[in-house]
Amino acid sequence: MEHLHPLESHLERPERFTYPFCYEPHPLCQLAAKEVQAYIAAHPEIREDADQGKMFGVLVVEGGFLAAYSGLLAGRNDWAYFVPPVYDAQQPDGYFKQQEQIISLTSHLSPLTSKQLSQELQTWLFHQYQLLNARGEVKDLVDIWQEYYNRPKLLQKYPLPPGGTGDCCAPKLLQYAYQQGLNPLCMAEFWWGAATKTELRQHLNYYPACRGKCKPILTWMLQGLDVDPDPETLSLQQMELPVVYEDEWLLVVNKPSGLLSVPGRIGQYSVETIMQERYPDSMVVHRLDMGTSGLLIVAKTQDVYRALQEQFVKHQIRKKYLAVLYENSTSQRSANHSSFNIQHSTLPAKGRISLPLRPDPMNRPRQIVDLEHGKQAVTDYEFLSDRVVALWPQTGRTHQLRIHCAHPDGLGCPIVGDELYGTRQQGQRLMLHAAELWFRHPVTLEEIHLEKDDEIINAEISK
């Protein structure tokens, strides 16, 4: 079979297929990925384009593995080593290219008509994507999309897929496997090349499939396979919640990594629900990401909650975080991939990062840097050692510290354990800790300063 590559290994096969939106790559996928990476490195005509930044994927099947890339590679979609697209719209004499040329030639005569014709052509193209699932059933992309977003408000917001839907790695791999009667075992995707300044993907790191374009498609295509459960829907682990400070009006807890601050879509168990068992009217005043540990204020009454919220709005509450950064950086400040050392970097030992942020609507919960439309996000930093940095957020944007560390125009080094903007190894937590907190007590008006160290981060500082 032309696109099936051998994979010599005595590794055990997985019990179930990969849940593609949150996973740790199976060792068989890592082995297959190394084969693909060696192939890219050995072919300059492919590597030159891939070095600009490209997602690649592997699908391990009975008898070997398949490889794919997202979109086009060096302007082509017919590289023999990789599986073909679900639908080939690049044929010069094909209907799509011919109509595209006609629209381009007449666009100056009637821009409104040209736009309408472009939309009709795009819809026609989506209907050509006849996607299989593991049961052998077929649906076109428009039907899959509209059935997934079947509530009226959602359908009004997302009537048709965005451009490029169906051309990511995962749909290509599964489509070819089903067409050839192959049995999928596990799948993974990795980024090759430069880190983009918007998406912050790191060279050779593994990433989940995009939720915006691929979630509707893969929800259909995985039907009939025994798939790993979504880790985010599993029962959350019951955790100890140490109290650092408490009086009759409020308390401050040391939230462990892996515990939600407030109930969310992945579960009800959280700091807030734990506290409400003790104090029914209590509310969490601010939030930490699920993976972030450290100091969190809980108000016991609505009046105290509102008073503390007002301090946050007026930027009167200060927070200091500690983060452990990866040793290697793909940023311009350490382009040779050697260990990041602040003593030999052009990056000042202390300074300020200002990179505006906004959500990525097609790949939540990721945030992206957007200099034009993003909201102001400011962080002060100071290196305490080569890998440990103290962070003082001056604004409170989602994932602000994680992006300001990872971005090439920030510190250029992701935080250890950050699966969204860096990578996470098995069993690794996000090494970000809210270590200090300053606020004025809303009742006594006393200036409160609390500090709670993290043993793992302290060990990194003392190395």
Contact between 436 and 319 (Cβ < 8 Å): yes
The residues, any chain, with a CB within 8 Å of residue 299's CB and separated by 6 or more, are 249, 250, 282, 283, 285, 305, 308
- Is 167 annotated in the active site? no
Nearest residue to 50 via CA among 67, 27, 65: 67
What is the three-state SS of 293-344? EEEEEEECCHHHHHHHHHHHHCCCCEEEEEEEECCECCCHHHCCCCECCHHH
* CA separation for the pair 291, 420 (Å, rounded): 11
How far, in Å, CA of 227 to CA of 296, rounded? 36
The DSSP-derived string for 99-167 is: HHHHHHHHTTT-HHHHHHHHHHHHHHHHHH-EEE-TTS-EEEHHHHHHHHT-SHHHHHH-SSPPTTTT-
For the chain, what is the radius of gyration of the CA atoms?
Answer: 25
Distance in angstroms (rounded) separating the CA atoms of residues 388 and 457: 8
Q: Are 357 and 397 a contacting pair, CB within 8 Å?
A: yes
Catalytic residue among 49, 167, 289, 454: 289
Active site residues: 289
